Structure 1
Amino acid sequence: MEKGKYDYPLERSDYLPLEPHKESCSPENFRKWLKTYGKSKRLAVDLFSGAGGLSFGVKQAGWTVAAAVDFDERALETHAANFPGMSLKMDLGNSDERDRLIGLLKGVDIDLIAGGPPCQPFSRAGRSKIRDLVANHNRDPEDLRKELWRSYLHVVEEVRPRAVLMENVPDMGLGDDFFVVRTIEQRLEDLGYATQVRLVDAWHYGVPQHRKRLILLARNDVERFDWQPKQEGFTSLQDAIGDLPNLDPKPRKPVGDRELPYRAPEDPSPFVSMMRKDAPEGLIWDHMTRRVRADDHEIFSKHMDSTTLYSEIPEKLRRYSAEHFTDKYKKLAWNELSRSITAHIAKDGYWYIHPVQPRTLTVREAARVQTFPDWFRFAGTRSDAFRQIGNAVPPLLGKAAAEALAPVGDVQARLGGLQPHWRQVREELAAWAEKRRDGDDWWHLPGEQMSPLSAAVVAVLSGTKLPAAQTDEVLAGVRSRKYLTTKAFENLLETAPTERARTRLERLAPLVDDKAAWQKSRRLEIPERLAFKPAEASLYRLLVGEDLLWVGQGALRVAARLNDSDADRTNRLSDGRVNLVRLVGAGDESAPLRMAALRLLGNSVCSAQRPLCSDCPLSKHCPRKSDASDVSAVEANSKPKGKGQRNRKQSPK
């Protein structure tokens, strides 16, 4: 046997071949399959299917997977063995391959398209660079179709299923102000779909691990997404794998096997009963993991519990830098959730050390934590299996998401599509903002009147809390100017109503008489050149028309109230942003305008304690609007708090 570093045998497991499902089919006999096995069934397609975690969740929710597409041969071998229908090797980034898939599905009543396309978030700088290349350097805008989420959307556009389910990591949204997510939602709404985006903790739906995912749902029959209630409590690691046979991980010896005897516990947990359904009685498959090094055996058995850091392991046993690998080893805890199972488990299992046995998790244990049942097997070597499991959507999470898209009675997909509620709200918000932009509120909103210079002045004054009238007076001197001259700068400082405001305005000095710096083509360089703080830079970029989410307390408050949520106080950076997404939408011009309008509303009529709902353009859509919305702004401001005015119902905390 070949030996690697540290005189340790490099072991590759046997290869597990799997036979296709007895009801599988090929493109050549797909039409026959539709008339036989697929007849009268609710059909789904799984794009970027991997081994089939989402496919199995969709199956549990009542669909039959007619076609699955991926580029990984081992994952497709696994999918073909465990599911009926077609398991197709295709590169959906290739337009010819996409067209071939669309041709196969032409005329087929596909009810659901599901999948988790790889979504590389666009940074704001990246989006701006792409726009500049298209506008000024003859870059083909169609190049962006190579992004796989665009390929996913293209299939949806051509097939037009009743429902759509997309799953991805939260960073797909959080990493780029939800730009990709908002773009996808906008495209789906243009097709007549109502949409919903959620950040979901998988353990709420029975998955025994920490795993937060972004779920995007869409449907064109009814605007309704009925999620099942969250599970009370959680499924601990012991509930999930505590029944599996103990293994004897002797140093340098194989650990586990493809087939081992299994003895069912007298009182299995509900999770174990679910995992064992349809599994072979008295047998457990793929309960095997890597060999244990002698030093690892000593660490796992004598020097670690679930709280031990790598730096706390005896130095003589460490072979990695404790400074650079602070969490290189992680022993799991019986009475807690597992850490998230990822594809990294295929490289090594040090993040997944068994709670009581001196070894890493087995293939079957990892599959259990991902909620694959015990009858489900994975083609290829042990490493192939780990990689497929780590890349998969937990089936129980897929089931929960798919159930929210279940048909409602006999309601059919609408030929002309839906007019989604949030689309209407966004249109009304944009119309209100356009009117306000033409009046005294011009400096709160991006538009033709908002030059980079005016935006910079607003940004540096943003922390001074000047009354609107005083800010208006300061801005009057630069409103019509395209760049800052020495004379204009002197006048600007003279109009500063406070010493604090003057000090902030003095920060513009480096760009006085620098005409080129204020050109629109260079507007994104200004925050760095003027050393803006992060909040100032975000406000500046928003006012010059950059498509971003302004995560300020006022805007979050408006979005939370319209979504009947408390995320403005509890989960500002995650669920709070999702609330904003529904109101901001996408679009290079309209999205920044709506975002700025939400900021304006939050800083004016939608205050924390005394919202003036009668002045809010969105009050008719707000389930949390004050019961005193008939009180005018004048009346509200003319009476002191607590005197001569009835109590208002405040937003719940």
Structure 2
Amino acid sequence: MKAKKSVAAKISRFASGQALRVLDLFSGCGGLSLGFQRAGFDIIAALENDPHAVQSHANNFHDGITSTSPHAVPTDITEVEPAELLRALQIPGHARSSIDVIVGGPPCQAFARVGRAKLREIDEHPEAFLRDPRSNLYLRYLQFVRELQPLAILMENVPDVMNFGGHNVANEVSEVLDEIGYSCSYTLLNAAFYGVPQMRERMFLIAYRKELGASVEFPEPTHWVQLPRGYDGTRNVAMRVLVENGYRTGQRLLPIDDESENYFQEPPSAHPGLQPAVTVRDAIQDLEPILARELHRMGELRRGVRRFDEFSPYCNDVEPSEFALDMRSWPGFENEGGVFDHVIRSLPRDYQIFARMRPGDQYPEAHELAKQICEETRKKKRIRIDSPEHEELKSSIIPPYDPSKFPNKWRKLESDLPSRTLLAHLGKDTYSHIHYDDSQARTISVREAARLQSFPDGFRFLGTMNPAFRQIGNAVPPLMAYALAKRMNATLRASIRESDYGKGIRCG
């Protein structure tokens, strides 16, 4: 089938050596953008509805922000069309010729109204979803693809997207992309296998225009760690719909029904022969210690808004790991001397508990330790059991949550393993990531969270501490994005070199 003019022009332009132009939908502060930029792509546009995240993206990818910067304006994807967005961002040319690659991860709240009929209706009746506040965010993502006809697509989401109320949303999205001209496939990848100091399982979907004749390949793992049982369980739940419909490990997927095809690829295999995964210690040991109890005693750590206006130097007596050196020297985000966002929450009630917790301890263990500390204090102060003073003491030491209902609310990091998954909930509290160093007795800082997510030290988060934590937890790890972007870049170059559009043109 002859490619449409816009697609043919994009292929020829890339074959001549120009960088592919990326639109990052639901961009957040820019985890995907960072990885694609490092792999040689040009981040020319982004769409994000969170005010702090869109300002961070604009500040890091568009030479700072001003009161008139179009890139710093939060935008709701349900209230803008592709051409409108590109005009607002002052991107020249016809919308369909302006974007070569679309990346992004529609928020998981979008799953509720997904269904195959609705997804297919985009192509048949696109006007039904224009400016409809009830429309699914996945549908809007696909509408941007349909209108802009990028050469390639990357979509990211939680594993549950493969099993949401009995729907395999990833497979249904793939069917629509197939019907509108794309070869696509999806799989599950864990960031720890790609040099990120974090065990983070996500679904990734890659698609290419069929005119390219490209086959979807996912990057091979570079690191290995034995994942805890919970991660295997998450993967098994995500794949349940596939298994129930004929999928077996190592085998080709069987059709779910007469009109369906399957697009899932077995995840690339990580094995003990690879280099060890990057650990929490590797990631954050060169950052300056923060002795929370001592700072609180001195009155230098109080509750309230944390801004990023104090410089924290790197530790001179700690040899930075290869990972830490990469975070300091990421191209375009090089950083020297130290950081400005190594700030933590003030949690004076809990410092004693943090110090006594063992690596890997969670909330039930923390709750028991709190009761022990309370009893020791009661005896030391000779307070009668069940007296008003005793009740006051308990409330000042023991966290109020039922340990049977909140078993995973707290967790102390294990220094010799990658971190467990960081989530947007960091914007509310950081108990899920308590520093492994007993002497520091605290939860992680903003920069430590950024390191665990593989954000370079030169990347600046706009807003104060809580918005920054949320931006970090919501992001795709930049090193994971970089691995995917490198693989996609190589696939595109090889495909175009062999295509009719690339013959006779030096593919840069």
TM range (shorter): 0.5 to 0.7
**Contact 1:209 1:339 (8 Å CA) reproduced:** yes
In the TM superposition, residue 99 of structure 1 has moved relative to its aligned partner by 4.5
In the TM superposition, residue 65 of structure 1 has moved relative to its aligned partner by 0.4
**Contact 2:286 2:318 (8 Å CA) reproduced:** no
- Residue 284 in structure 1 maps to residue 268 in structure 2: no
- Counterpart amino acid of residue 351 in structure 2: H
Q: Deviations over 1:422-473 (max 9, x none)?
A: xxxxxxxxxxxxxxxxxxxxxxxxxxxxxxxxxxxxxxxxxxxxxxxxxxxx
Cα 1:120–1:382 change in 2 (3 A) is: closer
Structure 1 counterpart of 2:85: 101
In the TM superposition, residue 262 of structure 1 has moved relative to its aligned partner by 2.0
Q: Distance in 2 between matches of 1:284 and 1:269?
A: 17
**Contact 1:310 1:327 (8 Å CA) reproduced:** no
1:261 to 284, 306, 313: 313
**Contact 1:121 1:175 (8 Å CA) reproduced:** no
**Contact 2:110 2:136 (8 Å CA) reproduced:** no
2:429 to 348, 353, 360: 348
- Residue 207 in structure 1 maps to residue 207 in structure 2: no
Other structure's SS at 1:167 match = strand
**Contact 1:219 1:405 (8 Å CA) reproduced:** no
Structure 2 counterpart of 1:89: 74
Structure 1 counterpart of 2:488: 405
Q: Distance in 2 between matches of 1:121 and 1:179?
A: 13
1:234 to 277, 281, 284: 277
In the TM superposition, residue 400 of structure 1 has moved relative to its aligned partner by 1.6
**Contact 2:32 2:476 (8 Å CA) reproduced:** yes
Q: Distance in 2 between matches of 1:300 and 1:93?
A: 44
Q: Distance in 1 between matches of 2:187 and 2:180?
A: 21
Other structure's SS at 2:77 match = coil
Other structure's SS at 1:409 match = helix
In the TM superposition, residue 328 of structure 1 has moved relative to its aligned partner by 2.5
**Contact 2:419 2:452 (8 Å CA) reproduced:** yes
1:296 to 316, 325, 350: 350
- Counterpart amino acid of residue 325 in structure 1: F
Alignment of 1:490-505 (within 5 A): none
Structure 1 counterpart of 2:404: 323
In the TM superposition, residue 405 of structure 1 has moved relative to its aligned partner by 1.7
**Contact 1:49 1:55 (8 Å CA) reproduced:** yes
Q: Deviations over 1:361-380 (max 9, x none)?
A: 00000000000000001001
- Residue 367 in structure 1 maps to residue 450 in structure 2: yes
Structure 2 counterpart of 1:189: 178
1:147 to 122, 136, 141: 136
**Contact 1:311 1:326 (8 Å CA) reproduced:** no
- Residue 336 in structure 1 maps to residue 417 in structure 2: yes
Structure 2 counterpart of 1:64: 42
Q: Distance in 2 between matches of 1:67 and 1:186?
A: 27
Q: Deviations over 1:611-650 (max 9, x none)?
A: xxxxxxxxxxxxxxxxxxxxxxxxxxxxxxxxxxxxxxxx
Q: Deviations over 1:350-407 (max 9, x none)?
A: 1111001201100000000000000001001111111111111111111122223212
**Contact 2:56 2:461 (8 Å CA) reproduced:** yes
Cα 1:47–1:346 change in 2 (3 A) is: same
In the TM superposition, residue 192 of structure 1 has moved relative to its aligned partner by 1.9
Cα 1:41–1:366 change in 2 (3 A) is: same
Structure 1 counterpart of 2:100: 111
Q: Deviations over 1:223-256 (max 9, x none)?
A: 3234332122200000111111111212364289
**Contact 1:102 1:155 (8 Å CA) reproduced:** no
Other structure's SS at 1:93 match = helix
Cα 1:144–1:70 change in 2 (3 A) is: closer
**Contact 2:311 2:340 (8 Å CA) reproduced:** yes
For the aligned residue pairs, the C-alpha RMSD in angstroms reads: 3.1
Other structure's SS at 1:46 match = strand
**Contact 1:264 1:282 (8 Å CA) reproduced:** no
Alignment of 1:400-549 (within 5 A): 400-406=483-489, 407-409=492-494, 411=496
- Residue 380 in structure 1 maps to residue 463 in structure 2: yes
Cα 1:298–1:66 change in 2 (3 A) is: same
- Counterpart amino acid of residue 77 in structure 1: Q
Q: TM-score, normalised by structure 2?
A: 0.66
In the TM superposition, residue 160 of structure 1 has moved relative to its aligned partner by 0.6
Q: TM-score, normalised by structure 1?
A: 0.52
Q: Deviations over 1:122-158 (max 9, x none)?
A: 579x869999xxxxxxxx8986971111111111111
Q: Deviations over 1:55-77 (max 9, x none)?
A: 10111121010101111111111
Q: Distance in 1 between matches of 2:162 and 2:47?
A: 24
Structure 2 counterpart of 1:552: none
Percent sequence identity is 36
Q: Distance in 1 between matches of 2:118 and 2:147?
A: 26
In the TM superposition, residue 101 of structure 1 has moved relative to its aligned partner by 2.2
In the TM superposition, residue 288 of structure 1 has moved relative to its aligned partner by 0.6
Other structure's SS at 1:310 match = helix
Structure 1 counterpart of 2:389: none
- Counterpart amino acid of residue 216 in structure 2: F
**Contact 2:103 2:155 (8 Å CA) reproduced:** yes
2:369 to 308, 313, 325: 313
Cα 1:80–1:155 change in 2 (3 A) is: same
Q: Distance in 1 between matches of 2:100 and 2:110?
A: 28
Structure 2 counterpart of 1:499: none
Q: Deviations over 1:263-283 (max 9, x none)?
A: 456642110110011544222
- Residue 166 in structure 1 maps to residue 155 in structure 2: yes
Instruction: Mark the structure with the bigger radius of gyration.
Output: 1
Q: Distance in 2 between matches of 1:310 and 1:279?
A: 39
Cα 1:183–1:145 change in 2 (3 A) is: farther
Aligned residues: 368
Structure 2 counterpart of 1:47: 25
RCO greater where, 1 or 2, for CA within 8 Å and sep 6 or more? 2
Q: Which runs of 5+ in 1 are unaligned?
A: 1-38, 132-139, 417-653
Q: Deviations over 1:518-548 (max 9, x none)?
A: xxxxxxxxxxxxxxxxxxxxxxxxxxxxxxx
